[in-house]
Structure 1
């Protein structure tokens, strides 16, 4: 009985490996445009569900990953081939409309600097003007102090020390301290 079960299991495994989805050869070339899969925790609770973002241009390849370049900010990242799918070959005509579409996909941005602050009287809270890495100055945006204290506390604290406004500095340290105390109570 045991030999029969073992043999049957081996036949099942061979049938599974023979299916087309088991091993798909990656055929991206440098210059091709690809989409990258991203799991966005804020959009849904299902961690296996992904959102395809891009396109990105393939700028390099290695044994186990491809290097892709973001068309808006020019930043490169290494991505496993299973996280990529073909968008277009290297003959894609990158138009202004395509660039606008890519820019509006909710791409995660990095903070380059905090350049200004203000009190939002409607919200009764401080906001800081953020300069985003790789974006133009006209794309700077006002973000809530509380949010930035969670995302970039050291950069925010560094900026606050350059101001002469004691009330703003206290608001920054209070926001950072409250976030850190929340983290320590969760542990």
Structure 2
């Protein structure tokens, strides 16, 4: 009795694996531009909700992930293909105007925290490293202390 059931289950599994949906081919190649999905940690109620950030340039491939490079700060990270979606092909012309648009994207940023401080000898001024609300830690930036004291005096 168990042999026929086991044989039928094996046939079902083989049929399932032979269907096209079982393994979807990855269609990214080095030089393509992609968006990366990121879970917004601030939305605890829905941890499956993602935000698409980027664009990034695919700079390398491996068996189970792609290496992508951020266009503005040139940092690289390894990302699973399920977390990427196609943005543009390698023929996209990355201009200074496009980089400016990506860097600002027309958003207003709120300060999450002041992370560090330093003296900038070139500018002969103090600077603070600002962690921006809703952005990743790697996107923290050095801002002039004078500007920050005018914009957000309650934090200084």
Quote the RMSD (CA, aligned, Å).
3.7
Report matched runs for 1:62-101 at 5 Å.
62-95=62-95, 96=97, 99-101=100-102
The TM-score normalised by the length of structure 1 is 0.53
State yes or no: 1:36 paired with 2:36: yes
For the residues of structure 2 that align with 1:144 and 1:11, how far apart are their CA atoms? 68
Distance 2:104 2:15 in 1: 44
User: How far 1:44 moved relative to its partner?
Assistant: 4.8
Gaps of 5+ in 1: 117-127, 146-167, 169-187
Which has the bigger relative contact order, CA under 8 A and spacing at least 6?
2
Does the alignment pair 1:113 with 2:116? yes
How many residues of Structure 1 are paired with residues of Structure 2 in the alignment?
131
Gaps of 5+ in 2: 120-126, 132-137
TM-score w.r.t. length of structure 2: 0.62
Q: Is contact 1:30–1:58 with CA below 8 Å preserved after alignment?
A: yes
Structure 1 position 3 matched with structure 2 position 6: no
Offset of residue 5 of structure 1: 2.5
Matches within 5 A, 1:37-186: 37-95=37-95, 96=97, 99-101=100-102, 103-104=104-105, 113-114=116-117, 129-131=128-130, 135=141, 137=143, 142=152
| Residues 129 and 142 in structure 2, CA contact (< 8 A), matched pair in contact too | no
Instruction: Provide closer, same or farther for how the CA distance between residues 8 and 47 of structure 1 changes in structure 2, counting only shifts above 3 A.
Output: farther
Aligned: 1:23 with 2:23: yes
